[in-house]
Amino acid sequence: MCQNTRMKTSQRRTALLASLLAVFACTPDAAPPSQPDASSAEDRIDLIIMGDYIVSMDSAGSIVENGAVAVDDGIILAIGSADEITAAYTAAEVLPGEHRVVMPGLVNGHSHAAMTLLRGVADDLALMDWLNNYIFPAEVEFVDAEFVRIGTELACWEMIRGGTTTFVDMYYYPDTVADVVDRCGMRALISTTVIDQRSPDAENASDSIQKGNGYIERWKSRNSRITPIFGPHANYTLNADQLKAVRAAAIEHGVGISIHMSESPFELQYSKDTYGMTSVEFYDSIGFFDGPTIAAHMVWPTDVEIPILVERQVGVIHNPTSNMKIASGIAPVAEMLQAGVRVGLGTDGAASNNDLDMWEEMRLASFLQKVDRMDPTVLSAPTVLNMATLGGAVAIGLGDSIGSIEVGKRADIIQVAFDDVHHVPTYDVVSHLVYVTDEQDVASVVVDGKVLMKEREMLTIDTDRVRKEANALAARIQKALNERNLKAGD
């Protein structure tokens, strides 16, 4: 029978599964709770999130109409009809569900968050020209811990507002990134960038590995929402020995790696010329896949390499907007998924996108594959939504704890407003989420059971301050760029 739990927090944990089973066992005419409603705050759970639909993204694709999710201590306690959940639980806070769709938060598998401050600084260029002549020099000149703090806050604001709850970052001053993520309440895998050139926070590869070791130690077990990882940049900015050294350090610390891999025709040619093989084969040959790997882009894997990605359980992150804007190519996503590769979605940095909108990535991922293959059946709406949620979580190694609304998982959940004109009428909620919804539709965002945005109001970021600081910093960058242009014209 459906039964309201009457226990203290310490007892509640052990009864999570039992209570869920009880809720699922309820039938519409099941007996009402056997005890009167709880009145003491001690007995209340933290949060109930309601919606016209609960799109769980579990492996069965379960969708609950007029549903609700019960959350306590950051964990999903139960999922059921709104009537069942509200009968079984009293919550300190309730997010009402009228014209709201509840789904897992989006997982942005590849980004350079602080690059929001370089958005629009250099556009319409090829990858190597963009990197070597604009981005790398601008970063060495302007990027310091303060830049990273402000840029990452901007990015977290944009991502929370758009329904992203977890992101994988690769940038400099990772301690600062982690501090920002800690404060704003998001979940993130934060890479310490390793690159064999002078960068904003290191002199060369060995210096960046050494500094990375300290960062990993500091954050390894500090905050369950923050996973420190190594971020070797690519095989054209690090040699084989340096890449092996990064993997050895990651293994020693028991952490994973995120990297750019097989991104552009340049990299393909560089790898063939330097190592006599294409990128994935090269990485496999040096034992680079001996630990968890998140490989961003993967635009040019060969038929020989795709099975390697499956066998070595590499998490691939597809970045359709960035790949289109820099003309890196069209990743064979349909082939990789069919072969069993773990593929998630990412935005890349805001300087090559130029926003952090995962809804746009979903749509472009789908449309780009369809027109490339001349087959409208590939990358269907459910497939793409999975890539942005559970599939993405699996690709970055968090599939057991986030990515779907299932009992026992961490409560990373968003509410999407479905009352604007483009959602009227709604025949198929998943179709609407992928092909219609945009970031402006996200109403509320919950990470680890904590509400970070409530009906569009940001609760953990002082947006006025961040806007002011970002504009002041951008003015300094603009002035320096103007001066440089004047000198260049002399």
CB atoms within 10 A of CB 203: 12
Q: Are 68 and 49 in contact (CB under 8 A)?
A: yes
d(CA 295, CA 302): 15
| Smallest distance from Zn ion to CB 191, Å | 10
Number of residues forming the site for Zn ion (CB under 5 A): 1
Residue 242 or 321: the one with the smaller Cβ distance to Zn ion is 321
| Smallest distance from Zn ion to CB 263, Å | 8
| Smallest distance from Zn ion to CB 151, Å | 15
| Smallest distance from Zn ion to CB 352, Å | 7
Distances (CA, A) of 101 to 176, 193, 426: 34, 37, 11
Distances (CA, A) of 94 to 98, 321, 441: 12, 36, 19
Q: Are 111 and 168 in contact (CB under 8 A)?
A: yes
Bridge partners for 64 per DSSP = 54
Residue 109 or 162: the one with the smaller Cβ distance to Zn ion is 109
DSSP-based three-state secondary structure for 7: coil
Residue 139 or 348: the one with the smaller Cβ distance to Zn ion is 348
| Smallest distance from Zn ion to CB 424, Å | 38
Bridge partners for 398 per DSSP = none
Residue 169 or 441: the one with the smaller Cβ distance to Zn ion is 169
Of 285-293, 301-309, 346-354, 382-390, which part binds Zn ion (CB under 5 A)?
Answer: 346-354
Distances (CA, A) of 199 to 194, 361, 405: 9, 29, 40
Q: Are 341 and 311 in contact (CB under 8 A)?
A: no
Q: Which of 7, 89, 11 is nearest to 50 (CA)?
A: 89
Q: Which two tokens stand for residue 435?
A: 């092909």
Alpha-helix residue ranges (DSSP H) falling in 127-200: 127-130, 136-142, 145-161, 174-184
| Smallest distance from Zn ion to CB 297, Å | 7
Q: Which of 392, 474, 391, 456 is nearest to 111 (CA)?
A: 392
- Residues making up the chain, counted from first to last: 490
Contacts of 162 (CB under 8 A, 6+ apart): 106, 356, 357, 358, 359, 439, 442
Contacts of 73 (CB under 8 A, 6+ apart): 9, 12, 13, 46, 449
Residue 5 or 323: the one with the smaller Cβ distance to Zn ion is 323
Residue 184 or 294: the one with the smaller Cβ distance to Zn ion is 294
Residue 67 or 301: the one with the smaller Cβ distance to Zn ion is 301
| Smallest distance from Zn ion to CB 319, Å | 7
Bridge partners for 164 per DSSP = 106
Residue 148 or 451: the one with the smaller Cβ distance to Zn ion is 148
Residue 295 or 430: the one with the smaller Cβ distance to Zn ion is 295
Q: Hey, which bits of 19-74 come out as E strands?
A: 45-55, 63-72
Residue 52 or 348: the one with the smaller Cβ distance to Zn ion is 348
Positions in 5-44 near Zn ion (CB under 5 A): none
Quick check: 263 binds Zn ion (CB under 5 A)?
no
Residue 260 or 410: the one with the smaller Cβ distance to Zn ion is 260
| Smallest distance from Zn ion to CB 260, Å | 5
d(CA 116, CA 172): 14
| Smallest distance from Zn ion to CB 398, Å | 19
| Smallest distance from Zn ion to CB 439, Å | 20
Q: Which of 84, 201, 267, 348 binds Zn ion (CB under 5 A)?
A: 348
Of 120-128, 347-355, 386-394, 458-466, which part binds Zn ion (CB under 5 A)?
Answer: 347-355
d(CA 112, CA 191): 10
CB atoms within 10 A of CB 84: 24
* Gap between the terminal Cα atoms of the chain: 83
Q: HSE of 39 in the Cβ direction (CA atoms, 13 Å)?
A: 2
| Smallest distance from Zn ion to CB 234, Å | 9
**Strands 315-318 and 293-297, bridge-based pairing:** parallel
Of 55-63, 178-186, 273-281, 342-350, which part binds Zn ion (CB under 5 A)?
Answer: 342-350
Q: Which two tokens stand for residue 402?
A: 């986030």
Of 66-74, 176-184, 340-348, 379-387, which part binds Zn ion (CB under 5 A)?
Answer: 340-348
Residue nearest to Zn ion as judged by C-beta position: 348
| Smallest distance from Zn ion to CB 315, Å | 14
Residue 148 or 461: the one with the smaller Cβ distance to Zn ion is 148
The site for Zn ion (CB under 5 A) is made up of 348
